[in-house]
């Protein structure tokens, strides 16, 4: 069968449907096989395509959508070389063109004869499918639109060469596989070991949404842009008062620099032992990765910070140039220190060494950015700006008075408290 002749584009994760469809395309008139069995296989494939549509949110020609989804998710030596960089040279282009020629046959296949011969009813549904707004558990609207546009362009390509150029340009603009389609990821343990899994719904926060904090935001932007655009950059620690926008700033840069190839991987403290496995999976990709650690801090009895130190900087293996570590914390020095520590140091022959041991982790973050709680005036400005953005029409004096009452009962002066107050007002609107 033709799909067995594929060289680079083979062994797809969801390739069973391709194998069965191609078998039907090649054998639907073959009298050696039972006609009823072929009909049942065709109905099974219709079921698979409709389930796929609900899973991914596809519409239109589902067969074409399925083939396109295989192509944009297949990580092979060609697609990974083209991501972000674009067209490459070498013999590998001959192998790709060979495969694309076969894939074009699948795109161009006319199902009318097969449907008529097997007496299939309802096959037209998969060739012109209308999706509901509730469908899709995997792709958001941005990704679906991107794949739908590529599907239409590939199906209209006049030659395998044109089809190859279209696909290569897609790899250059958006990348390939999960890293090409998604912005943010988490780490999970599966049957296959440590796996980097997409976060399907990341908050659509932008840096302009964060009122105030212009100096901290500028430092974060400068360091991130240096990293994204291939200049020297540092690991970054965002520390300071709770609710001041540290975590929101990280989400914002994930949104702002996604088109430039930036990806965020969230790692929790109990997963530090997986960091080497995570880095090994991303170090040879053409994206820039920020390993993000939210609310990072350690009690004095926790020793994970020693492992983290070696991973950040200090182990024998050099940290890849496409990886940085960003962390947020309410603690400046990350490791908890107590007054009783001073008493213990009197019995420590090398007390300065003990101090350096605890401070050495934070020193591995080349850039430290302080987010402090706003004063009364700044808090009022945040409230007024947010109220204006959400079209809340309340007299300024009344708005600020209610905001002050709210912050006294809900955690004090912070950007988070201001946002919660605005959400409260929006909830009162009918």
pLDDT 10s digits, 138-194: 788 888 899 999 999 999 999 999 999 999 999 999 999 999 999 999 999 888 889
357 and 390 fall within a common domain = no
73 and 92 fall within a common domain = yes
What pLDDT sits at residue 300? 64
Domains in the chain, number: 3
What pLDDT sits at residue 193? 86
What's the average model confidence in pLDDT over 87-105?
Answer: 96
What pLDDT sits at residue 349? 45
Helix (H) or strand (E) holding 224: helix 214-228
Which has the closest alpha carbon to 297: 274, 339, 331, 326? Answer: 331
What pLDDT sits at residue 2? 85
Half-sphere CA count of 353, side-chain side, radius 13 A: 4
The answer on pLDDT for 1 being more than 90 is no
Residue 186 inside a domain? The answer is no
Q: Considering only 224-233, 238-247, 341-350, 397-406, which range has the smallest mean pLDDT?
A: 341-350
243 and 330 fall within a common domain = yes
Residue 263 inside a domain? The answer is yes
Residue 187 inside a domain? The answer is no
pLDDT tier at 348 (50, 70, 90 boundaries)?
Answer: low
| Residues of the domain holding 294 | 198-371
127 and 248 fall within a common domain = no
What's the average model confidence in pLDDT over 118-136?
Answer: 85
Share of the chain above pLDDT 70, in %: 87
Residue 396 inside a domain? The answer is yes
Q: In CATH, what number is assigned to the domain containing residue 299?
A: 3.40.50.300
pLDDT tier at 47 (50, 70, 90 boundaries)?
Answer: very high
277 and 353 fall within a common domain = yes
What pLDDT sits at residue 212? 79
Kindly report, residue by residue over 100-124, the tens digit of the pLDDT.
999 999 999 999 999 999 999 989 9
31 and 54 fall within a common domain = yes
Helix (H) or strand (E) holding 29: none
What's the gap between Cα 261 and its chain centre? 11
330 and 254 fall within a common domain = yes
């Amino acid at each position: 069968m033709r799909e067995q002749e594929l060289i680079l584009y083979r062994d797809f994760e969801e390739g069973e449907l391709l194998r069965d469809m191609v078998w039907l395309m090649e054998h639907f008139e073959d009298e050696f096989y039972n006609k009823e069995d072929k009909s049942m296989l065709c109905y099974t494939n219709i079921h698979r395509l409709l389930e796929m549509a609900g899973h991914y949110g596809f519409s239109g020609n589902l067969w074409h959508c399925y083939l396109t989804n295989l192509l944009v998710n297949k990580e092979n030596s060609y697609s990974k070389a083209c991501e972000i960089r674009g067209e490459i040279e070498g013999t590998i282009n001959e192998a790709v063109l060979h495969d694309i020629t076969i894939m074009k046959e699948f795109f161009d296949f006319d199902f009318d004869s097969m449907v008529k011969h097997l007496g299939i009813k309802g096959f037209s549904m998969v060739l012109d499918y209308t999706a509901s707004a509730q469908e899709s558990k995997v792709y958001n609207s941005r990704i679906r639109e991107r794949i739908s546009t590529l599907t239409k362009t590939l199906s209209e390509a006049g030659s395998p060469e044109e089809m190859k150029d279209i696909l290569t340009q897609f790899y250059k603009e958006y990348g390939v596989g999960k890293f090409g389609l998604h912005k943010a990821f988490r780490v999970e343990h599966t049957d296959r070991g440590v796996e980097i899994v997409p976060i399907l719904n990341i908050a659509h926060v932008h840096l302009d949404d964060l009122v105030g904090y212009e100096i901290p935001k500028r430092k974060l932007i400068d360091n991130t842009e240096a990293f994204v655009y291939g200049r020297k950059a540092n690991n970054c620690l965002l520390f300071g008062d709770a609710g001041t926008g540290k975590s929101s700033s990280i989400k914002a840069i994930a949104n702002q620099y996604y088109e430039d190839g930036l990806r965020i991987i969230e790692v929790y403290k109990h997963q530090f032992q997986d960091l080497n496995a995570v880095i090994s999976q991303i170090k040879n990709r053409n994206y820039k990765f920020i390993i993000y650690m939210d609310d990072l801090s350690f009690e004095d009895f926790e020793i994970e910070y020693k492992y983290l130190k070696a991973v950040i900087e200090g182990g024998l293996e050099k940290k890849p140039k496409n990886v940085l570590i960003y962390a947020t914390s309410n603690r400046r020095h990350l490791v908890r220190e107590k007054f009783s520590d001073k008493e213990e140091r009197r019995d420590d022959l090398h007390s300065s060494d003990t101090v350096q041991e605890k401070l050495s982790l934070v020193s591995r973050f080349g850039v430290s950015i302080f987010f402090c709680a706003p004063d009364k005036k700044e808090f009022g400005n945040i409230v007024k700006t947010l109220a204006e953005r959400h079209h809340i029409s309340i007299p300024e004096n009344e708005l600020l008075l209610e905001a002050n009452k709210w912050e006294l009962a809900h955690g004090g002066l912070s950007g988070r408290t201001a946002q919660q107050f605005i959400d409260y007002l929006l909830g009162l609107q009918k």
